[in-house]
C-alpha cells in the first residue's frame, strides 16, 4: 500500500461536497468530523429481535453529532464574512460552535440555561475560549434571544439548526449509514429534542433515494423524554424536565420536519421515561461497551419499549448515539460511587476481588 494516499476523516464537506451548499475551499472549516463508526450490537440485537447497529456520533471531534452541521454552518459564516457566531444550546451545540469558531477565528457566544448543561460540555466551551452566557430560563428562551441577536446584527451568524446549513451537514450521517450497510436500514431510532437531527436524517435518506441509489427508506422512529415531549403531547411544554439535559426542550424549532419525517416514512414520534433512558444508557455501557450520554440512549429506550409492547421494528435497525458519555459524568456519579481506597497490598486488593465475585 502506498503510504500517505489514503485520506482518513477528511471532514464531511470534502467527502460529500456535491450534496452540500456551495463553500469556497478557502472557507472550509473542518476538524475531521464524520466517518463515525457503525457498530454492530449483538447482545442488544438479541433483546430487540432485530439486527441492531449503533452509529456512534460520540466519535466526532467534539464528541457529538453537532460537528457535522457545525462544519457547514461555520464555513458558510466564514465565506459570508461573519465576525460572530451565536447559538442557544443544551450543551453540545455550544461545545461544537466553540470549537469550530476557534478554528475559524470567529468570536463565539453561547446562550445556555443556567445550571442545566452537563459539566463536560461547559468545560469544552471554556476550553475553546468562547463566551458563555447563562440565562435564568430554559433552552427555548435562549433560542428566542439568540435569534433576536442574530437578526439585530449583520455580522452575526446564528449556528443553531434553524440555520439550514446545519441540517445540510447533519444529513451526511444518513449517507454514511447507507454506504456502510450497502442499503438504507429498515428503521432508524434516534432521540428528538429541537428536532433538527431527525429532520436531517430524513432529508439525507430522501436525497439518497432521489439520487437513485436505492428505492427504500427507513421508518423514522423518534423518541422524546416524557417530561419534554411536546411532539407527542401535541402542545409546547412551558417547563420541560428530564435527566437527559440535551433534549430538555419544550418548543422544538424543527417540529414540522420531525412530524413530516415520521409521517412520510411510516414511523412515529413517541416518548420514553427518564428511568427507561437511564436503563438503556446502562445496557449500552455494560453489554456493548459503548458509553453515551443519557439523551443518546433514548433511541434504544424507545426500541425496547416498542419491543415490550409487541411493536418492535424487526429487520435492520440503526440507533444514533448522538453524544459521548464523558460529557455528563454527574449522571453516572449520582448512581454509582467511587469506592473507598484500600491499602497497597495484595491481600487488600484480592479481598476486593473476592467481594465483587467473577
Question: Closest approach of Cβ 93 to ligand F0G, in Å?
Answer: 4
Helix, strand, coil: what percent of the chain each, to 5? 50, 15, 35
- Identify the sign of the CA torsion 249, 89, 200, 147: positive
Shortest separation between residue 314's beta carbon and ligand F0G, angstroms? 25
Q: What is the rounded distance in angstroms from the CA atom of residue 171 to the CA atom of residue 192?
A: 15
Question: Collapsing DSSP states into helix, strand and coil, what is residue 137?
Answer: coil
Q: Which three cell numbers stand for residue 26?
A: 478557502
Minimum distance from CB of 199 to ligand F0G (Å)?
7
Instruction: Check residue 157 for interaction with ligand F0G (CB under 6 A).
Output: no
The rounded distance, in Å, linking the Cα atoms of 203 and 23 is 20
Cβ-contact 13, 170 below 8 angstroms: no
* DSSP code of residue 357: -
User: Of 9-17, 77-85, 97-105, 188-196, which part binds ligand F0G (CB under 6 A)?
Assistant: 188-196
51/131 with CB nearer ligand F0G: 131
- Please state, in angstroms and as integers, the Cα–Cα distance from residue 291 to each residue in 49, 236, 282, 323, 335, following that order: 22, 31, 8, 9, 15
173 binds ligand F0G (CB under 6 A): no
Stretch that binds ligand F0G, among 37-45, 86-94, 210-218, 228-236 (CB under 6 A): 86-94
- Contact flag: residue 30 with ligand F0G (CB under 6 A): no
138 lies in the site for ligand F0G, by CB under 6 A: no
User: Using the rule CB under 6 A, which residue among 323, 325, 331, 332 binds ligand F0G?
Assistant: 323
Region label for 272, one of left (φ > 0), alpha (ψ between -120 and 50) or beta (otherwise): beta
Ramachandran angles phi, psi of 57, nearest 5°:
-75, -10
Per CB under 6 A, the list member of 54, 272, 322, 325 interacting with ligand F0G is: 322
Q: Is 197 in the site for ligand F0G (CB under 6 A)?
A: yes
Using the rule CB under 6 A, which residue among 196, 204, 227, 325 binds ligand F0G?
196
> Which CB atom, from 247 or from 300, has the smaller least distance to ligand F0G?
247
Site string for ligand F0G, 247-266 (x = CB under 6 A): x-------------------
Residue 191 is a binding residue for ligand F0G (CB under 6 A): yes
Q: Which residue in the set 64, 82, 157, 281 belongs to the binding site for ligand F0G (CB under 6 A)?
A: 64
Question: What's the min distance (Å) between Cβ of 46 and ligand F0G?
Answer: 25
Tell the smallest beta-carbon distance from residue 329 to ligand F0G (Å).
15
CB atoms within 10 A of CB 273: 15
Minimum distance, C-beta of residue 19 to ligand F0G, in the bound complex (Å): 19
9 burial type by CB count under 10 A (0-12 exposed, 13-18 middle, 19+ buried) = middle
**Helix 92-104 and helix 66-79: axis angle, to 10°?**
40
The answer to whether 224 contacts ligand F0G (rule: CB under 6 A) is no
* Long-range own/partner contacts, residues 105-108 (CB < 8 A, 24 or more apart): 106/74, 106/77, 106/78, 106/82, 107/83, 107/131, 108/84
Q: Which stretch binds ligand F0G (CB under 6 A): 20-28, 194-202, 205-213, 306-314?
A: 194-202
3-state secondary structure of 131: strand
Which of 29, 89, 124, 157 is in the footprint of ligand F0G by CB under 6 A? 89
Segment contacting ligand F0G (CB under 6 A): 72-80, 270-278, 293-301, 334-342?
Answer: 293-301
Number of residues interacting with ligand F0G: please give it, by CB under 6 A: 22
Asked if 62 interacts with ligand F0G (CB under 6 A), we say no
Sequential DSSP letters for 10-71: --HHHHSGGGS----GGG---SS-----EEE-HHHHHHHTSEEEEEEGGGSTTSBTHHHHHH
* Residue 58 binds ligand F0G (CB under 6 A): no
- Which residues of the shown chain bind ligand F0G in the complex (CB under 6 A)? 64, 66, 89-93, 161, 191-197, 246-247, 293, 295-296, 322-323
Amino acid at each position: 500500500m502506498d503510504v500517505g494516499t489514503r485520506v482518513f476523516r477528511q471532514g464531511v464537506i470534502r467527502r460529500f461536497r456535491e450534496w452540500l451548499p456551495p463553500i469556497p475551499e478557502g472557507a472550509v472549516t473542518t476538524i475531521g468530523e464524520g466517518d463515525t463508526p457503525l457498530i454492530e450490537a449483538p447482545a442488544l440485537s438479541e433483546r430487540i429481535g432485530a439486527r441492531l447497529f449503533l452509529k456512534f456520533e460520540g466519535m466526532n471531534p467534539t464528541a457529538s453529532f453537532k460537528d457535522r452541521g457545525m462544519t457547514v454552518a461555520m464555513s458558510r459564516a466564514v465565506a459570508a464574512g461573519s465576525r460572530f457566531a451565536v447559538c442557544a444550546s443544551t450543551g453540545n451545540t455550544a461545545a461544537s460552535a466553540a470549537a469550530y469558531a476557534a478554528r475559524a477565528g470567529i468570536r463565539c457566544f453561547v446562550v445556555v440555561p443556567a445550571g442545566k448543561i452537563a459539566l463536560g460540555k461547559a468545560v469544552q466551551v471554556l476550553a475553546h475560549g468562547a463566551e458563555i452566557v447563562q440565562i435564568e430560563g430554559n433552552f427555548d428562551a435562549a433560542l428566542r434571544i439568540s435569534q433576536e441577536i442574530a437578526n439585530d446584527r449583520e455580522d452575526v451568524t446564528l449556528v443553531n439548526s434553524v440555520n439550514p446549513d446545519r441540517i445540510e451537514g447533519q444529513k451526511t450521517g444518513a449517507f454514511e449509514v447507507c454506504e456502510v450497510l450497502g442499503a438504507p436500514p429498515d428503521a432508524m431510532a434516534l432521540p428528538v429534542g429541537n428536532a433538527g437531527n431527525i429532520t436531517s436524517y430524513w432529508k439525507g435518506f430522501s436525497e439518497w433515494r432521489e439520487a437513485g441509489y436505492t428505492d427504500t427508506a427507513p421508518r423514522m422512529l423518534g423518541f422524546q423524554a416524557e417530561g419534554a415531549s411536546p411532539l407527542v403531547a401535541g402542545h409546547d411544554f412551558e417547563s420541560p424536565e428530564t435527566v437527559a439535559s440535551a433534549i430538555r426542550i419544550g418548543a422544538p424549532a424543527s417540529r414540522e420536519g420531525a412530524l413530516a419525517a415520521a409521517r412520510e416514512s411510516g414511523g412515529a414520534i413517541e416518548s420514553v421515561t427518564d428511568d427507561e433512558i437511564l436503563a438503556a444508557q446502562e445496557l449500552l455501557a455494560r453489554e456493548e461497551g459503548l458509553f453515551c450520554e443519557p439523551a443518546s440512549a433514548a433511541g434504544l429506550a424507545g426500541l425496547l419499549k416498542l419491543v415490550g409492547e409487541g411493536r418492535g421494528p424487526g429487520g435492520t435497525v440503526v440507533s444514533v448515539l448522538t453524544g459521548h458519555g464523558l460529557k455528563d459524568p454527574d449522571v453516572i456519579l449520582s448512581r454509582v460511587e467511587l469506592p473507598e481506597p484500600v491499602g497497597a497490598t495484595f491481600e487488600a486488593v484480592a479481598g476486593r476481588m473476592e467481594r465483587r465475585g467473577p
